[in-house]
Structure 1
Amino acid sequence: MSAEILTLVGSLRAGSHNRQLAEAALKLAPADVTLTLFEGLGEVPFYNEDIDTDETLPESAAQLRAAAERANAFLLVTPEYNGTMPAVLKNAIDWLSRPWQAGAMLGKPVAVVGTALGQYGGVWAHDEARKSAKIAGGTVVDDVTLDIPGSANRFAEAHPYTDAEVTERLTKVLDMLKNAAA
């Protein structure tokens, strides 16, 4: 059975190591996995129930929800900002959690990975993303983790795709997420 995995990156910076990690996932995805990197999280307005109506739903939010509806699993790739996930990722989860108990994440497997400058690789942010995705209705695959410390040094001269340990671990994450989506 093939899997449709929607990838959301919590960093908007073009040269982000987390974006590079998501790009590596695109290259490493098994043949029976369609991995889509959602572009445009920066255009999705902060969640506001007043604009979450049929008449006023922002196009960017509608595109995010449509992509999430097509997916049967999610890969969240996030750095750590001030001990938690970036607002752009939290906002995406908020949009996907609605309508309450019928949002696009409901019952779908979610894996969280990422890299950060610090010595723990963003584990606080990853824990917060898992918690938020679980509350939004996602089925968090808790044994799927990839926390890569020291991103500024580790990826200063190399793309994560060229790091043998990262590619091995990321391939395992994608396989486990694919199996959870089956």
Structure 2
Amino acid sequence: MSEFKILAISGSLRADSHNTALLRAARKHQPGGLDIEIYDGLREIPPYDQDLDNPQDRPAAVADLRRRIAAADGLLIATPEFNYSVPGTLKNAIDWVSTDWTKQEGLPLHRKPIAILGAAPTNFGTVRAQLALRQVFVWTDSDVVVKPEVQVFRSHERFDEQGNLTDETTINLVRGLLGALKTKVAAATATASAAR
């Protein structure tokens, strides 16, 4: 059986981000059948500009992200929380890939299976960011995994100095989340095949 392609995006730009480390852990501890690629171009995405949001004028980094999302079978997004919500860089990238003003390209996020998780050094960080992100994906009509929720509290206690996830409870939650994402992707793939 071929592997499903999952594009993983961290909402943090920090070099030592626990959210990015969480995506590396997801790649390492995945239940099998998933090819997880971690996207590293978020820093290159410029501020959203509707005047440039068309196939001819989009910045190259934006066009690349749209292609990657369209080609992926599913998305895995790790988000920290800024000011009770989604980091601006992540929301900005989503804004760029949520449109099709020309009605010619299709919507990369439409019905796309998506799993959300997050890590924070506090006892409650990432919770509101994940809720805000879920609300955004209601508008894009994406197929978001509901359970399990993966909110890694006091994340500095769950990773070692090399950035490896060491907490078995969290590892099992990540595996469960990826299993649920895989189920959604398999269902979406079967539906698409049947429609051909």
Alpha-carbon distance in 2 for matches of 1:54, 1:148: 38
The aligned amino acid for 2:52 is I
Matched, 1:93 2:70: no
SS of 2:150's partner is strand
8 Å Cα contact 1:5-1:71 kept in structure 2: yes
8 Å Cα contact 1:93-1:133 kept in structure 2: no
Aligned residue among 124, 127, 142 for 2:128: 124
Aligned residues: 182
> Which region of structure 1 is more displaced relative to structure 2, 137-146 or 55-64?
137-146
Length-normalised TM-score, structure 2: 0.86
2:66 is aligned to 65
Q: Residues 95-139 of structure 1, C-alpha deviation per residue, up to 9 Å, x if partnerless?
A: 121116832010111111011122124110010111112212211
Matched, 1:138 2:139: no
Alpha-carbon distance in 2 for matches of 1:165, 1:31: 19
SS of 1:66's partner is helix
2:57 is aligned to 56
Matched, 1:43 2:44: yes
Matched, 1:171 2:175: yes
8 Å Cα contact 1:107-1:139 kept in structure 2: yes
Alpha-carbon distance in 2 for matches of 1:63, 1:136: 19
8 Å Cα contact 2:147-2:177 kept in structure 1: no
Structure 2: stretches of 5+ with no match in the other structure: 187-196
Structure 1: stretches of 5+ with no match in the other structure: none
Among all aligned residue pairs of Structure 1 and Structure 2, give the percentage whose two residues are the same amino acid.
Answer: 35
Q: Residues 30-66 of structure 1, C-alpha deviation per residue, up to 9 Å, x if partnerless?
A: 3311111111111011211111123311000011001
Matched, 1:11 2:28: no
The aligned amino acid for 1:83 is Y
Alpha-carbon distance in 2 for matches of 1:156, 1:163: 9
Shift of residue 69, structure 1, vs aligned partner: 0.7
8 Å Cα contact 1:76-1:113 kept in structure 2: yes
> Which region of structure 1 is more displaced relative to structure 2, 38-47 or 149-158?
149-158
8 Å Cα contact 1:160-1:166 kept in structure 2: no
> Which region of structure 1 is more displaced relative to structure 2, 113-122 or 159-168?
159-168
Length-normalised TM-score, structure 1: 0.92
The aligned amino acid for 1:40 is G
Alpha-carbon distance in 1 for matches of 2:32, 2:117: 21
The aligned amino acid for 1:78 is T
For the pair shown, which has the larger CA radius of gyration, 1 or 2? 2
Shift of residue 153, structure 1, vs aligned partner: 4.1
Alpha-carbon distance in 2 for matches of 1:89, 1:158: 25
Change (3 A) 1:137 1:5: same
